[in-house]
Amino acid sequence: MAQSEENNNKQASSADVKPPRRPERTKRLKRKSAPKPKSREQSDDAKLRPAAAIVPPQSVAGRALTLVVAIMSFLACLTVGGVSVVWDAADAWQNDLVREITIQIRPTEGVEMLREIDKAVALAQEFSGIESVRALSDAETKALLEPWLGEGLQLDGLPVPRLIQITVNDPTLLNLSQLKSMVSQKIVGASVDDHSVWTSRLAAMAGAVVVGGFAIMVLVLSSMVLSVVFATQSAMAGNKDVVSVLHLVGAEDSFIAREFQRHFLVLGLKGGVSGGVAAILCFILLDMLTRQGSGQAGSDQLSALFGTVSVSLPGYFGVFGVIFLVAILTAITSGLAVKAHLAKVD
Amino acid sequence: MIRFENVGLRYGMGSEILQDLTFEIEPQSFQFLTGPSGAGKTSLIRLLFMSLRPTRGLIKVFDRDLSVIDKQELPKLRRKIGVVFQDFRLLDHLTTYENVALPLRVIGKDESEYRSDVVDLLKWVGLGERMHVLPPVLSGGEKQRAAIARALITRPEVLLADEPTGNVDPPLARRLLRLFIELNKLGTSVVIATHDIALLEQVDARRMVLADGRLSIFD
């Protein structure tokens, strides 16, 4: 039917319509492939711009969201850096304390103190993992007591406990419990102090700081994820027409999600890198300031606690990890939000 | 290809706007869907395109029952159907070329594979010189042809056109109609929804007339 009517109208409209005037074009379409003359194709190609983004970038997220992501990653990176500083400091304290053990010998009636000291030194030296064993001299003991008992102290007349300092070179080789039991059995009035109470408290404190730091980071990243969810929903609403056209041309939800995800990945990377770089600059600045200010009263307190306040290499790796995490989280969150939105739409 | 049996459609709790529609779109057929404004032509086109689900009745698209088709399968079926809307639905930030190439990008084809096909088709619809411009620069007729080209680029088995000549002057309407006829000759089933009597009179084709929610067919 259509064909017969077409013949009637052919003359009137043939000047307007291109396909009927060019039967060879019809043949080419029938073959479903159309090899083109090379020169013409090249001239067309030359004009073609690289395929534009299907979802316009400017419609997805403004600078505000990038700034939010940057601030969130900055805070997360600061947390990682802070945790790293505390962790390193706690580790250093623990190492110092673990490498020092003290044997304390209390004076006992009828027992010669010097003999017991010699016995204790000899006993301690028999253990592996120990670098040196040294009994504190009379002068050193006097110096320790001087702030409380004043100058000109005569140790012989006082029941002053004597100390033996043991330096450990390899804590893993030293059998501490055996040392403790041997010392208490063989040396009269002696006990071993290995600072275990201190180290356990330090470990607990460092653990609490790390857990707190991670909790803060999780909160910060959660806020960022929520911001991205809202931004994605807003972007979806703003691109309703684009989504509708994509459905129209047979796009799968995963394709549409990928198109949005790509933008949010770039946004997450931009925000993450900005926040991370700002945090790294802060770390470097803090390190420089604490080094420059060494010798001043305030700085000495800080140095006593943390040494030099500088973020170690694992801290910087943590910052890079946060940047990567922020970008991935942003992309995954937006992808899931798009899919959830599309599931509701259809 | 597409079969409707006693299909009814209502929006929300309103009365049925389409009632007991029973018809079939045959392969390589050409038909007009007509009726007064508000008769439900666009709703029927949307049902044919599977962007609406009927409230009752059976719709079979390429021998698949729409009521049991998984949502994930819809895009693959939609790719066999080209659709042209009255409002063109071109993306304003993409050039004519990119708009027409969109269905091929969506199925993951590399640009080098489809470039010559898209350029050919754009020339075929008379947009060879306008392929690098953005839709806001195109005239109504050019936009319509771009929308038609986009619907045709994947060589669909069925073409649905909703008021394709609604925004163009009579000479261009005739020209677009020639395009559809040519396409039909190449094997595509064509459904043109229109209330343009002049257009209907130009071709002796099957007419599906919607009135008061019911469909009458004149072969």
Q: Give the pLDDT of residue A8.
A: 41
Q: How far apart are CA B16 and CA B19, in angstroms?
A: 6
Q: Give the pLDDT of residue A75.
A: 92
Question: Is the Cβ–Cβ distance between A5 and B202 less than 8 Å?
Answer: yes
Q: Of A16-30, A325-339, B7-21, B55-69, give the lowest mean pLDDT range.
A: A16-30
* Domain layout of chain A by residue ranges: 57-94+199-345, 107-188
Contact B116 A41 (CB under 8 A): yes
Residue A257: CB partners within 8 Å, gap ≥ 6? A335, A338, A339, A342
Residue A181 amino acid letter: S
Intervals of chain A under pLDDT 50: 1-41
Q: Give the pLDDT of residue A298.
A: 58
Three-state secondary structure readout of B116-182: HHHHHHHHHCCCCCCCCCCHHHCCHHHHHHHHHHHHHCCCCCEEEEECCCCCCCHHHHHHHHHHHHH
The tokens of B104 are what? Answer: 């091929």
Task: Determine the average pLDDT of the residues in B89-96.
Answer: 92
Contact A251 B155 (CB under 8 A): no
Task: Determine the average pLDDT of the residues in B161-184.
Answer: 83
Q: How far apart are CA B186 and CA B144, in angstroms?
A: 20
Longest dimension (CA), chain B: 51
In Å, what is the CA distance from A314 to each residue of A80, A221, A297?
A: 10, 20, 29
Beta-carbon-side half-sphere exposure of residue A160 (alpha carbons within 13 Å)? 22
Question: Is the Cβ–Cβ distance between B36 and B70 less than 8 Å?
Answer: no
Radius of gyration, CA atoms only, chain A: 38
Contact A32 B155 (CB under 8 A): yes
Residue A78: CB partners within 8 Å, gap ≥ 6? A279, A282
Residue B133: CB partners within 8 Å, gap ≥ 6? B95, B96
Closest listed residue to residue A121, CA positions, set A140, A141, A99, A137: A137
CB atoms < 10 A from the CB of A217, how many? 21
Residue B100: CB partners within 8 Å, gap ≥ 6? B118, B121, B122, B131, B146, B149, B150, B153
Chain A contact probe: residue of B116, B133, B169 with most A CBs at under 10 A: B116
Question: Is the Cβ–Cβ distance between A102 and A192 less than 8 Å?
Answer: yes
For A34, which residue in chain B has the nearest alpha carbon? B117
Q: How far apart are CA B176 and CA B148, in angstroms?
A: 9
Write down how long chain B is.
219
Residues of B in contact with A1 (CB under 8 A): 30, 203-206
Which helix H or strand E contains B192, and what residues bound it? Answer: strand B189-193
Q: How far apart are CA B31 and CA B123, in angstroms?
A: 26
CB atoms < 10 A from the CB of A124, how many? 24
Residues of A in contact with B72 (CB under 8 A): 252-253
Question: Is the Cβ–Cβ distance between A101 and A193 less than 8 Å?
Answer: yes
Residues of A in contact with B30 (CB under 8 A): 1-2
The tokens of A211 are what? Answer: 């857990």
Task: Determine the average pLDDT of the residues in B163-178.
Answer: 81
Q: Give the pLDDT of residue A302.
A: 61
Model ipTM value: 0.87
Contact B98 A35 (CB under 8 A): no
Three-state secondary structure readout of B7-42: EEEECCCCCEEEEEEEEEECCCCEEEEECCCCCCHH
Q: Give the pLDDT of residue A6.
A: 41
Please give the model's pTM, rounded to 2 decimal places.
0.67
Contact B115 A44 (CB under 8 A): yes
Residues of B in contact with A341 (CB under 8 A): none
Q: Give the pLDDT of residue A47.
A: 58
Angle in degrees, CA A238, A260, A230, rounded to 5: 55
Contact A241 B117 (CB under 8 A): no
DSSP state at residue A307: S
DSSP A90-138: HHHHHHHHHTEEEEEE---TT--HHHHHHHHHHHHHTSTTEEEEEEPPH
Contact A17 B178 (CB under 8 A): yes
Closest listed residue to residue A260, CA positions, set A279, A238, A280, A281: A238
Contact B89 A241 (CB under 8 A): yes
CB contacts < 8 A, A to B, total 136
Beta-carbon-side half-sphere exposure of residue A11 (alpha carbons within 13 Å)? 1
Task: Determine the average pLDDT of the residues in B200-210.
Answer: 88
> Does position B13 have pLDDT exceeding 70, yes or no?
yes
A32 touches chain B (CB under 8 A): yes
Contact A41 B115 (CB under 8 A): yes
Residue A300: CB partners within 8 Å, gap ≥ 6? A294
Helix (H, G, I), strand (E, B) or coil at B69: coil
Q: How far apart are CA B189 and CA B159, in angstroms?
A: 6
Angle between helix A313-345 and helix A253-292 axes, rounded to 10 deg: 150
For B111, which residue in chain A has the nearest alpha carbon? A51
Q: Give the pLDDT of residue A62.
A: 64
Residue from the list B74, B111, B132 with its beta carbon closest to the beta carbon of A51? B111
- Residue B31: beta bridge partners? B191, B206
The tokens of B106 are what? Answer: 């969506």
Q: For residue A310, report the phi and psi dihedrals to the nearest 5 degrees.
A: -130, 140
Residue from the list A1, A19, A32 with its beta carbon closest to the beta carbon of B204? A1
Residue from the list B72, B90, B103 with its beta carbon closest to the beta carbon of A250? B103
Residue with tokens 């790719």: B79
Q: How far apart are CA A1 and CA A119, in angstroms?
A: 120
The residues in A 239-298 lying below 8 A from B, measured between CB atoms, are 241-242, 244-253, 255
Residues of A in contact with B78 (CB under 8 A): 247-250
Residues of A in contact with B202 (CB under 8 A): 5, 9
Q: Give the pLDDT of residue B61.
A: 92
